[in-house]
């Protein structure tokens, strides 16, 4: 709610379990309608947003009539919607091994063009502001004809009547105890400046993993401890805070034979130590923000065990009462995919500053435009 008592209305698309929506709700937006078609995430969303009308639908199948009819069930019309928010999946961008994407390859992986479906629904609602988030890797991706994908997205916003700018935000700079980069596209069809939130935290004042995990109790939802084998636990005990597989004694590292001997019992060669990278056997440093939360396990900073889904949710700044539904794998995926709630709240509070004046601003004339430099608010 604004200082003038106005409660802007939002619609969420590709909401997942609702990290972005939770942040907007915490800032004072009324998220009246939401949509996602992954059943476990839908169950989680419904459980935590009982006042929001939820469409368990594939956005690609939504017609204008569908959206207007669902909105009518909330007592609203498109004229009431101020903001559309969401994160259409583009995993195809983050898993590619090279910088170039053939245009036909983009079309083959439908996840890479879901932003067009997102903007198609925006057309039905015509909000003042549109916020779309995605993987940071997208910022470097080029099509085979040399165009940056992010610029194609900006052009698509333009085609739909929205001037648009983008920025890469680093979660640890906004009070999140986690190092996580995401790209955000902010568009408006009004003659107002586009403003991203200013950084609120810097090193050494980042929130830390140790602070986030302090006070976790077994009675909290999703406090499910992993069933870890003794062999793995022995390795875990040797990993120091902030360390990982590399810090194990050689006797505990994975080994394999690289020779061509068929009988390893008679083989005169010694097996070689297998190198591991990334998050494998990674223990969190209690005095630093966590690395990016995904469905990969982290070792607790002080205890010899992997952290629980609830603890991962804390690193994503979900409130303790936010309960995730589904199997362990489903829950881990939902948490790993989410926008950190505190980062979403910070962005939402910035957008809240537009209201109520933005509704009286002139409509913006959009010209084809490409942002010349990468904005990384770090």
The CB density around residue 259, as the number of other CB atoms within 10 Å, is 12
CA-nearest of 54, 122, 47 to 82 is 122
Asked whether 18 and 85 are in contact (CB, 8 A), the reply is: no
Over the stretch 222-240, which tens digit does the pLDDT of each residue have?
Answer: 999 999 999 999 999 999 9
pLDDT score of 143 more than 90: no
H or E segment and range at residue 213: helix 209-213
Find the range with the poorest average confidence among 18-27, 94-103, 332-341, 353-362: 94-103
Show Cβ contacts of residue 86 under 8 Å, excluding neighbours closer than 6 positions: 12, 13, 14, 15, 20, 118, 131, 132, 133
Q: Is 234 helix (H, G, I), strand (E, B) or coil?
A: helix
- Least confident piece of the model among 147-151, 241-245, 358-362: 147-151
Helical packing angle, 341-352 and 19-27, nearest 10°: 40
Cα 338 to chain centroid distance, Å, stands at 4
Check residue 79 and report its DSSP letter. G
Rounded to the nearest integer, the mean pLDDT of the chain is 89
Looking at the predicted structure, is the pLDDT value of residue 265 above 90? no
- DSSP summary character for residue 142: E
Report pLDDT for 113: 76
- Tokens 């061509």 map to which residue? 260
90 is catalytic: yes
User: For the whole prediction, is pTM greater than 0.85?
Assistant: yes
Asked if residue 166 has a cis previous peptide bond (ω within 30° of 0), the answer is: no
| pLDDT band, residue 291 (cuts 50/70/90) | very high
Domain boundaries, the chain: 9-201+336-377
Residue 108 has pLDDT above 60, yes or no: no
Confidence at residue 375, expressed as pLDDT on a 0 to 100 scale: 55
As a whole number, mean pLDDT of residues 142-161 equals 86
State pLDDT tens for residues 11-50: 999 999 999 999 999 999 999 999 999 999 999 999 999 9
- Give yes or no for a contact between 55 and 62, defined as CB atoms under 8 angstroms apart: yes
Q: What integer is the mean pLDDT of 293-299? A: 95
pLDDT, residue 364, reads: 84
Q: CATH for 9-201+336-377?
A: 3.40.50.150
Q: For the chain, what percent of residues have pLDDT higher than 70?
A: 89
Confidence of residue 100 (pLDDT cuts 50, 70, 90): very low
Q: Give, as one character, the DSSP assignment of residue 342.
A: H
Burial class (CB in 10 A: 0-12, 13-18, 19+), 367: exposed
pLDDT in tens, 112-132: 579 999 999 999 999 999 999
Q: What is the pLDDT of residue 182?
A: 95
Q: Among 35, 90, 259, 267, which one carries the catalytic annotation? A: 90
* Nearest-angstrom CA–CA distance, 312 and 328: 12
């Amino acid at each position: 709610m604004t200082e003038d008592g106005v409660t802007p209305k939002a619609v969420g698309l590709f909401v997942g379990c609702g990290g972005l929506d939770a942040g907007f709700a915490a800032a004072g937006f009324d998220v009246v309608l939401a949509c996602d078609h992954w059943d476990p995430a839908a169950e989680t969303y419904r459980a935590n947003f009982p006042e929001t009308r939820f469409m368990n639908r594939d956005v690609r199948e939504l017609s204008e009539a569908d959206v207007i009819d669902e909105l009518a069930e909330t007592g609203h019309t498109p004229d009431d919607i101020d903001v559309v928010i969401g994160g259409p999946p583009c995993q195809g961008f983050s898993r590619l091994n090279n910088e170039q994407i053939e245009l036909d390859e983009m079309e083959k992986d439908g996840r890479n063009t879901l932003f067009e479906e997102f903007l198609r629904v925006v057309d039905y609602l015509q909000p003042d502001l549109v916020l779309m988030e995605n993987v940071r890797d997208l910022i470097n991706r080029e099509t085979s004809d040399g165009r940056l994908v992010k610029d194609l997205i900006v052009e698509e916003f333009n085609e739909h009547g929205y001037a648009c700018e983008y920025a890469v935000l680093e979660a640890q700079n906004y009070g999140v105890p986690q190092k996580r980069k995401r790209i955000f596209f902010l568009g408006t069809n009004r003659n107002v400046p586009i403003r991203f939130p200013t950084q609120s935290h810097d090193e050494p004042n980042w929130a830390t993993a140790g602070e986030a995990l302090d006070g976790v109790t077994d009675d909290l939802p999703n406090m499910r401890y992993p069933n870890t084998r003794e062999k793995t636990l022995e390795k875990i005990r040797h990993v120091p805070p902030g360390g990982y597989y590399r810090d194990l004694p050689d006797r505990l590292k994975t080994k394999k034979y690289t020779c061509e001997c068929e009988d390893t019992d008679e083989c005169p060669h010694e097996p070689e130590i297998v190198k591991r990278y990334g998050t494998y056997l990674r223990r969190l440093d209690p005095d630093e923000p966590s690395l990016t939360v995904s469905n990969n396990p982290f070792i607790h900073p002080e205890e010899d065990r992997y952290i629980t889904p609830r603890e991962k949710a804390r690193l994503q700044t979900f409130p303790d009462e936010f309960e995730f539904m589904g199997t362990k794998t489903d829950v881990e995926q939902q948490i790993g995919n989410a926008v950190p709630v505190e980062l979403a709240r910070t962005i939402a509070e910035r957008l809240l500053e537009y209201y109520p004046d933005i509704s009286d601003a002139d409509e913006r004339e959009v010209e084809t435009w490409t942002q010349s430099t990468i904005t990384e608010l770090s």
